[in-house]
Amino acid sequence: MRLATWNVNSIRTRADRVVDWLERADVDVLAMQETKCTDAQFPMLPFAALGYEVAHIGLNQWNGVAIASRVGLDDIEIGFPGQPTWSSKPEEEAIAEARALGATCGGVRVWSLYVPNGRTLADPHYAYKLDWLAALRDTAEGWLKENPEQPIALVGDWNIAPKDEDVWDMAAFNGSTHVSEPERAAFQAMHDAQFTDVVRPFTEGPGVYTYWDYTQLAFQKRRGMRIDFILGSPGLAARVTNAEIVKDERRPKKGTTAPSDHAPVVVELG
């Protein structure tokens, strides 16, 4: 099985690029983040034409996660147990945002995750981000206690760069989110719960990124961040035979829409 994750940064804008890549890459399961549309607005037909079933949760023009699979799409679950809620306005009721979607695909439990950004270290969204990660960690640890052998893939945009080498210049991120010690500790806590980064062993080294900002020629200047990950349970990690970051999909291409600011991340399972 070939399993991939991709922050598509608006699926309605980039459906042609995503579907074209799916066809060329021979991917069986694709988890998507930042679809930025409601369920009714998701472009299902191009995926169906290639033989993919799609599960999606999107509430408005923000966030949104999806899973496209050609090897089955069972036991669909919107949000994980204990997922924190959020409201940007005191007068509005806090809700569970469209940031987590689970489904069983070809025997693998796949979770498409879009971790909150955090914004700034002083913003309430930062505390929300840490609470969200802690809740995910506790829930995921519970899944393994129930079934230690279960192959589980926690995939998506984690909005954390766990190591200094995962950003182009640590000095540029001084006092910023994504590299703070609490965020990195939260990411490490996932490893402590036995969910390991199954991509890094195949893509080790500085300058290996998954995201490049649109501004200031960041991609051309190699000013990126590694923030998209596939974390696998022991039952999944044991099956990984290869992994790659498809950097080429971040490049502009003639005759197509602009690329996402993220690149797909892929693992092969034996």
**Which two tokens mark 244?**
């790659």
Q: pLDDT by residue (tens digit) across 142-182?
A: 999 999 999 999 999 999 999 999 999 999 999 999 999 99
- Mean predicted lDDT score pLDDT of the chain: 97
261 is in an annotated binding site: yes
16 is in an annotated binding site: no
- Pinpoint the alpha helices (H) of 26-67: 44-49
Whole-number percent of the chain with pLDDT over 70: 100
7 is in an annotated binding site: yes
User: Which domains, and CATH codes, for the chain?
Assistant: 2-84+96-269 (3.60.10.10)
Confidence band of 255 (pLDDT split at 50, 70, 90): confident
Catalytic positions are 114, 157, 262
Cβ-based neighbour number of residue 268 at 10 Å: 15
Confidence band of 264 (pLDDT split at 50, 70, 90): very high
Assess contact for 150 and 232: CB atoms under 8 A.
no
Q: pLDDT by residue (tens digit) across 182-213?
A: 999 999 999 999 999 999 999 998 899 999 99
Please give the backbone phi and psi of residue 180, each rounded to the nearest 5 degrees, phi first: -70, 155
93 is in an annotated binding site: no
Assess contact for 102 and 155: CB atoms under 8 A.
no
157 is in an annotated binding site: yes
Predicted local distance difference test score (pLDDT) of residue 254: 87
In the three-class reduction of DSSP (H, G, I as helix; E, B as strand; rest coil), residue 231 is classed as strand
Q: pLDDT by residue (tens digit) across 109-134?
A: 999 999 999 999 999 999 999 999 99
What pTM was estimated for this model as a whole? 0.98
Predicted local distance difference test score (pLDDT) of residue 90: 81
